[in-house]
Amino acid sequence: MNQTENKTQVSNVAKEGDESYLREYLASEFRYGVSQARVHVAKKIDKLGMRSSDTAQIFFKDVRVPSKNLIGEEGKGFTYQMLQFQEERLWGVATVLTSLKTIIEETIDYIRQRKMFNQSVLQNQAVHFRLAELATEVELLRSLLYRTVALYVEGNDVTMAKLKAGCLAREVTDSCLQFWGGMGFISEVLVSRFYRDWRLTSIVSGTDETMISIIHKYMETLPRKRYTSTLP
């Protein structure tokens, strides 16, 4: 038996202080054999995006888990998490693709009806040129995803697709929101939600900066560390 005192963030939790619900959830749903668990749910975290998924800190103290319910090797939890990152990153790319295509289509529909200077905003060359560029970038990301899946099956890395998805999610949502004008700043419209929700793509499952570092590693272009002697 192991006694642990952990703090972790989880999604879709019960309301603050609903400890009995969580004990029952841990014991019956996952069947971890939790005995005499003391569980405390902290205040729900107010997030920028992904607001339909509640996130809060849950504190576990003196939670006893039978060794027969141990999944994998003890102490290797972080390693297992790292190993599944590749598939999580692929899922992220596939998920954001549909949303980006949708928001471009909705933006076209809206600005076709929106009038400025007695003509549709869509008639502005700068606007429809930009939308054409964004649509092309989304299709390029789709092709990159297909190529990356094939490479992953052969045991290769998926970092480039994840990096591109994060950057393009910010680019598309920001450009489309701009075309909506003041309406884009209202929470009720879809472009506003995507602008907030998909900002997470460049953070979750490894930040853009982490992805770039990994790519540098595979390209063997990382600068070597230089050590300066302190001797006279």
- Beta-sheet strand order (sheet of 55-65): 2-11, 55-65, 38-44
Distances from the Cα of 188 to the Cα of 123, 131, 170, 178, 201, angstroms:
26, 22, 19, 16, 21
Output the six-digit token pair for 214. 């990994």
Indicate if 105 belongs to the active site. no
- How far is 133 from 172, CA to CA, in rounded Å? 10
C-alpha to C-alpha distance for 202 and 47, rounded to whole angstroms: 15
Give me the catalytic one of 16, 19, 73, 88: 88
Q: Which residues, at least 6 apart from 221, have a Cβ–Cβ distance to it below 8 Å?
A: none
Residues marked as catalytic: 88
